[in-house]
Amino acid sequence: MAAYPEPALPAHELDLSILIKALRGLTLWRPIAVMGTALFIGLLILAILERFSGTGAAAFLFLALGFLVYFVAVGAGYLGAGHSLAATVQGREAPGILDCLLFGLFTLPRLIGLVLLESLLLLGLLVAEVILVEICRIPALGGLLSLVVFPGLFLVNIASVLAFMVIFSLSGPALWFGETVSGALGHLVAVARSRPGPVIFILALLIVLVSIVTVMIAALAFYSAMLTGSLISSLVLSGVLGGILQPLIHNPIAAFSMLGGQGVGLNGELYIFAFGLTILLVTAISVAIPNNVFLLGLAYLYDESTKTVDAEAGHAFVGGVMQKVGRAAEAAQKRAEAAAARARAQAQQASAHASAAGFAPPPAAASNPDSAASVAATPVHELMHCPHCGAAAQPGDRFCGECGKPLAKA
């Protein structure tokens, strides 16, 4: 029998089955491996760079590079795991781990660009609100306008907060499904305009579900770590690692920083390295598994939401906003050019009138623009100059306005 697609829900309906579908993320090992691998690599490189950071400016540069690599690795893992989960949602075969990591690495610039565009939209909204508030400063009309503007701003801000929560939350999922930056922005705006309430409610329930899963996974990881610790406790009790592992429990990354320390020995360094790897592995697993549930829920939420909205309306809205911004910038440029042309015309007209009336600027006018205006209105036969600096002066002046020395007629 032919399979028929499930009918899409109306825009105002809640699809609570997304929460049940999200729990399937506990069993999908490939996206967990993608996120866990990226997180592990990022932490490992950060720890190694911290080990060789040294002191002074070099330490700052090494740490900055380490954190940059860490955030790039986390971003690539986030996008790569989501790419694998998007294939699961669409019923396709999930790509390999390396393919997912490469997808995440090359898609990260698009995510940054998309977030920047969304931030610009938010900034434009804030600028418009500031302009409305400034209009309310008009002495006579401002009070009447505030009766409409202030309550209106409150309602607009409620809608905008909900809309941008939806837009920023679903930015990553939009790229998981292979959207371009403009296409993703159009879909996100359409979802934010049509069904912000259902999306926010599902997001809140999904966060609660992931919190419960996180507690369970953390408890399991903690119990496993304690079991592992009991197995290696003989090493600690025998003094082989005496005084070394205890401080590392509070700062696992410091395990790599202690490599090469005095008095540890080769076995001690290997123990420390193995301990650090174990802690990093526990951290990666504890974060990757609950995160997989959350990301799968986001993938289903984005897929269901885009089926219930008019994407063309979202693209038209974004295009209209961009056109308005472009027209406003073009109009501002034309006004600036017109103002500059008027200023040049007025300067040429003033120069022509001065020449026709028999006035001429003094030699110092080119080097002293501030006195040019007063000199232009002074007849040539009454013109005075400072014998010391050459600045122009009005008849009757006894001291130079520039250098303060006594004047003499030219």
| In contact, 290 and 32? CB cutoff 8 Å | no
Instruction: Match 């418009």 to its residue by tokens.
Output: 128
pLDDT at 276 over 80: no
pLDDT at 252 over 60: no
Q: What is the pLDDT of residues 60-71, one digit of tens each?
A: 888 888 889 999
pLDDT at 259 over 60: no
71 Cβ neighbours under 8 A, 6+ residues apart:
42
Give CA–CA dist 161/288, Å, rounded: 29
Q: Is the pTM of this model over 0.75?
A: no
Q: Which of 193-202, 206-215, 228-237, 251-260 has the lowest mean pLDDT?
A: 251-260
| In contact, 287 and 43? CB cutoff 8 Å | no
Instruction: Match 């679903």 to its residue by tokens.
Output: 170
* pLDDT for 339: 64
- Name which residue leads in pLDDT, 269 or 175: 175
Q: Greatest CA span in the chain, whole angstroms?
A: 111
Which residue from 207, 173, 203, 204 is spatially nearest to 188, judged by alpha carbons? 173
Structural tokens at position 330 = 């073009």
Structural tokens at position 18 = 């997304």
Q: What is the pLDDT of residues 315-360, one digit of tens each?
A: 566 666 556 555 655 655 666 566 667 767 777 777 776 666 555 4
98: pLDDT confidence band, cut at 50, 70 and 90? very high
Average pLDDT score over residue span 381-401 = 69
Q: What percent of the chain has pLDDT over 90?
A: 20
Which residue from 28, 48, 51 is spatially nearest to 258, judged by alpha carbons? 51
Q: What is the pLDDT of residues 281-319, one digit of tens each?
A: 777 778 888 889 999 999 999 988 888 776 565 556 666
Structural tokens at position 49 = 């760079």
* pLDDT for 253: 52
pLDDT at 261 over 80: no
273 CA to centre of own chain: 35
Phi-psi region of 408 (alpha: psi -120 to 50; beta: other; left: phi over 0): beta
Q: What is the average pLDDT value for the chain, to the nearest integer?
A: 76
Could you give the 3-state DSSP secondary structure of residue 58? Answer: helix
